[in-house]
Each structure stands twice: as structure tokens, then as C-alpha cells.
Structure 1
Amino acid sequence: MPNVVPLPDLTQLIGLCEQAGRAILTVREAGFRVDAKADASPVTAADLAANEILVAGLGACSTLPILSEEGPAVSWRERRQWRRFWLIDPLDGTREFVDGFNDFTVNVALVEEGRPALGVVHAPASGISWAGTVGKGAWRWQEGEPRAIRVAPRWPPRLLASRAHLDATTRDWISAIPGTQLERCGSSVKFCRIAEGKADLYPRFSPTCEWDTAAGQAVLEAAGGAVLAAETLEPLRCQQGESLLNGHFIACASGAWRDRLAAVAHRAVWNERKPSVE
């Protein structure tokens, strides 16, 4: 029987993400150049430094394959054989990082059979980490002390939207929910704010990749929430094909809100199509 290195626990993973976070802050303090990747998204020395730390650390404590936003491309022919693997975004919210905001994160997720099973989201600027294992619970770490977190759903919802991607469809959604409160912020912090009971809903109708969402999805689901594909209202899945792009999704404090969310979607579409009266 082959030797299998045990998976690291959440405390080990948080330590690794904190190390990557310190490297990001070091780059920010020293100043950096912004380059453009093939898809025109920004990349900096901070993304690459964090990636090097995470890949080396995960490789040293696990035998699982690693898929990273800043790593080499892996063909679908190879990836489709993976049943368990690490999915990482070394610096989620690079645009926020470049623009001087603090809500950028380090994301590490363990994906099992197409579902995020474990996730760590670390916010270097604040030093706060959120982590969770689906079926076991979620925690918020600050100054080395963990505190259990849980969703606290309420309706009308406290709604979160991306700072950089508040598109027309999201605006239609907001207008279709009377009494909603809107807050805008960046990166996977939005999943974590729902997980710790400080928000309720995060609809996303502009492009994201699996590494943007997997760690936050694991934390939120571990805290009792849900991340649902917008079209089907079924759980959002990874590893569904050659493309690493997600479909539209809704992160929410309660998976029992499917009927409400379907009604909101109907109202948003109806309002969009309703003829204007001059």
C-alpha cells in the first residue's frame, strides 16, 4: 500500500496562508509593478510570491495535486482524473490590492468530487482568517484565537456586491428586494461576512473562476450557508469541464431560500423587460 501523507489541519493551513499574506504585505510596502496576464487581468510580484509559498507548503505536507491561478495550466484531460485536489488563489482581489484597498485575500480550498470540502480565507491586511470544513463547522481566527461562526439569516437581506463588478443584473436584483441593505466590498471576504452572520446575500452575475470562490464557498457552507448556481439553485460545483469559469451564482445565509430567490429572479427579469412609460 503506498504511503500517503496526511492532510494538514486547519491550523497548519492558516499558518501557511499567513506566511503567504506576509509576503504580499512585504511587496506592498516595497512598491510593485502591475503587469497584465493574457486575459488582461492584473498580476503583481505579490501574487507570484504568495503562490510560491503556498505551492511549496502544500507540496511538502500533502500528496494531492495543486491547481493555482498563478501556476501552470493543467489540461482538462489530466484534471478530470482528479478526485481530490488543492485549488488556490494566492491573491484574490488583485484589483483591490493594486487600488490600495485592504479587502484582498489568500484562498486555499480542498475540492473533493467536485465540491469544496475545506477552505481557508486569510485577509493579510487585517490578519483575520476564516476557515471551515463542510459538515464539521467554521471558525474565525484573530490573533491566534479561533471563534466558531455561524450564519444568521434575516430577510430583507443584508446584501453584498463586488466593488468592481456591480453590473446591471445585480442592480435589478437589488431593486427587486424591498428593504435590502447594500454593502460593497472585494474578494472572497463577502462569503466570510455571510458565514459569520454579518450579511445574508451575495449575488454574482459577472465572471469568476473556480479558484475565486471555492475557499469562500467551503467556509460559508461549513457555517450553515449555501452557494447556489443562479439558473438552477443547486449547489455550485467545481471541476465540471475544461473551462474554469463559474456560472452565475448566489451565496446566501440559508439554502432554504430557494423559493424566495426564484421569486426575486422573476421580479428582476420582469422589471428589466417591462416597457417604460414616458
Structure 2
Amino acid sequence: MEPSDTQPDLETLVCLCEEAGRAILAVREAGFRVDAKEDASPVTAADLAAHEILVAGLAAGSTLPILSEEGREVPWEARREWQRFWLIDPLDGTREFVDGFDDFTVNVALVEAGRPVLGVVHVPASGTSWAGVLGQGAWRWQAGRREPIGVAPRWPPRVLASRAHLDPATRAWISAIPGARLERCGSSVKFCRIAEGRADLYPRFSPTCEWDTAAGQAVLEAAGGVVLAADSLAALRCQQGESLVNGHFIACATPAWRERLAVLRRQAVGESGRHR
């Protein structure tokens, strides 16, 4: 794609994420060392290799700024001026990658006025990709085929939770739903499973960063779902302040369940809406 501020071509972005995914798999095949970042989270050569590929590819096709988990820190004074920018997590689910699971992803999102409006999520281990553009739809790429996807809400819901972060607040919230079926998996795959109709809810009451969620949020919302801040049930937003840490949120197959979610919030965590 030619360098531009205009909306990029999804096929090109999916191919770029696939290239980053192949680099991740090459590192896994060769063996790798696990280092710790300043926040004690793990980082490997696979994270860095994918970062380099994504940044080079996006810079070659767009003049928009790029914010990556593995890139240099950009001060809020500069970031607050960005109306449109790329937000990427070169390897989401590094813990899953390190522990030998396959549900780690490459995440690329386009953020506009604080809202993820385009997202690509790629699973290197399976070769599956999901992408969505707000107002245009969402799709899954698998075995060389592209097909449209959409949410398929069911109640009692099929609930997804993090493999590594199933905390007491999340357990209490899920236990307040009679008949809910729980499945645990890692990374931004959870958003995509809701987007393609295989699940209904993903509550997250432990910390995430904006690059963990933006691409998956874009895919899910393009497919008809919504990602809501857990306290206000307003749409989750990026670029709201200096911190890149998200508040608690609930990814949901349909915005029509807001009232149900409000009732669950009161039942599980009290009228104040604060998680114990």
C-alpha cells in the first residue's frame, strides 16, 4: 500500500501480521530466552522480531504514528495530539507463548479519536486471522479462505476468561449467571471467538493495556458486539489519559445486554459497582 493516512487495505494488513507470525514461530522453533521488562512481564526475541516487521510494514504504507508495546515510550504530551494512530501488540499472550500454548496472537489496530476503528488479530500457530472495520463488517481468514463473521448471542451465555488471570472478582461475576458455561483461553482470541459467534461474554477485572485489547475490540464491534467499561457500561475507549492501562471491562456479543450486565454488576460486586 502507498504511504497514506487513508484507511489501509485489510488483505495487506493480514499479510503483514502473517509475516510477523512466521517470525514468532521461527523463534519458537529455534528456542529462546525469556527476559523480564521493567514491569516484570516477560519478553522474548519473538516479541521483538514481530515488532520490527510490523513497524517497518506499517511505516512503509502509512504516515500515521505507531505505538507498540515493544517500541519506545511516547510521552503523553505527544500522544495526546494523535487523532489517528496505529496501536500494536506484536505478541499478545507472551505467557502463553512461553508456556507452550498456541493461543498467542499478533494484534494491529487503527485508533481514531480514541476508538479502535479497524483491527487485525492473527494466531500464528493455527494460521487463522480475524479482521474488522467499523461500519463495514468483520471476517475470518483460514486455510486461504476469507468469510464474513458475526455475533450470535445466547443466554445463558458462553463465558470466556483468561487462563492466567481468573481472579476472585471474575469468578464472583460469572457465578452470578445461572447456567453460564465457562471456557478459559489466552490473548485477544477471546474477542474474536465472540465476534464469530462461538462465545458471548468476556469479563476482565484484572489489568490489561490498550494494545492488548484495541485490535480485538475493533473486530468484535465490527461484528456487532461491544466492549464496555465495567463500571459505567459505556464503550471502552483508548487514548483517555497518560496511562495505557485499561479499566475493567466486559466484552459482549450484543449491546442489548447492558441492563442484564448492570444487574449482574449489582449482584456480584454490590451496588457501588466496585470490585472487591
**Which residue in the other structure is 1:223 paired with?**
223
Q: Distance in 2 between matches of 1:89 and 1:161?
A: 20
Please say if residues 6 and 61 of structure 1, whose CA atoms lie closer than 8 Å, have aligned partners that are also in contact: no
User: Are 1:113 and 2:106 matched, yes or no?
Assistant: no
Structure 1, unmatched stretches of 5+, are 272-278
Map of 2:232 onto structure 1 = 232
Change (3 A) 1:5 1:238: closer
* Separation (CA, whole Å) in 2 of partners of 1:107 and 1:162: 17
1:155-193 deviation line (CA, Å, top 9, x unaligned)? 110000000000000000111000000000000000000
TM-score scaled by length of structure 1: 0.95
Q: Are 2:13 and 1:21 aligned?
A: no
* C-alpha distance after superposition, 1:33-86 (max 9, x if no partner): 000000000000000000000000000000000000000000000000000000
Q: 1:124-273 to 2 correspondence within 5 Å?
A: 124-270=124-270
1:274 maps to which residue?
Answer: none
| Change in 2 beyond 3 A, CA 1:120/1:231 | same
Kept after mapping to 2: 8 A contact 1:21/1:50 = yes
Whether the 8 Å CA contact 2:139–2:149 is kept in 1: the answer is yes
Secondary structure, counterpart of 2:219 in structure 1: helix
Q: Any stretches of 5+ residues in structure 2 without a counterpart?
A: 272-276
Q: CA deviation at 1:8?
A: 2.3
* d(CA) in 1 for partners of 2:264, 2:214: 25
What amino acid sits opposite 2:98 in the alignment?
V
3-state secondary structure, aligned to 1:208: coil
Give the SS at the match of 2:182: strand
State the AA in 2 paired with 1:107.
Answer: N
Look up the match of 2:95. 95
**Cα contact 1:93–1:186 (8 A) shared by 2:** yes
Work out whether residues 164 and 186 of structure 1, in 8 Å CA contact, stay in contact via their aligned partners in 2. yes
**More displaced stretch, 10-19 vs 140-149:** 140-149
Percent identity of the aligned residues?
Answer: 78
State the TM-score, normalized to the length of structure 2.
Answer: 0.96
Alignment check: 8 A CA contact 1:230 1:249 kept: yes
How many Å apart are 1:111 and its aligned residue?
A: 0.1
AA partner of residue 161 (structure 1): A
Post-superposition shift, 1:246?
0.2
Could you tell me how far apart the structure 1 residues matched to 2:64 and 2:269 are? 43
Paired with 1:8 and 1:261, the residues of 2 have a C-alpha distance of 35
Q: Secondary structure at the match of 2:14?
A: helix
The CA deviation at 1:145 is 1.2
**Kindly tell me: are residues 159 and 4 of structure 1, through their superposed partners in 2, closer, same or farther at Cα, counting changes over 3 Å?**
closer
Per the alignment, in what secondary structure is the counterpart of residue 187 of structure 2? Answer: coil
How far off its partner does 1:269 sit? 1.8
- How far is the alpha carbon of 1:4 from its aligned partner? 4.0
The residue matched to 2:148 in structure 1 has which SS? Answer: strand
Distance 1:269 1:38 in 2: 32
* AA at the equivalent of 2:58: L
Q: Which residue matches 2:74?
A: 74
Q: Distance in 1 between matches of 2:120 and 2:98?
A: 22
Q: Report the residue type matching 1:187 in the other structure.
A: S
One-letter amino acid of the structure 2 residue matched with residue 100 of structure 1: G
Inter-partner Cα distance in structure 2 for 1:84 and 1:204: 26
Q: In the alignment, what sits opposite 1:275?
A: none
Contact 2:200 2:252 (8 Å CA) reproduced: yes
Contact 1:35 1:44 in 2 (8 A): yes
CA distance in 1, matches of 2:37, 2:161: 25
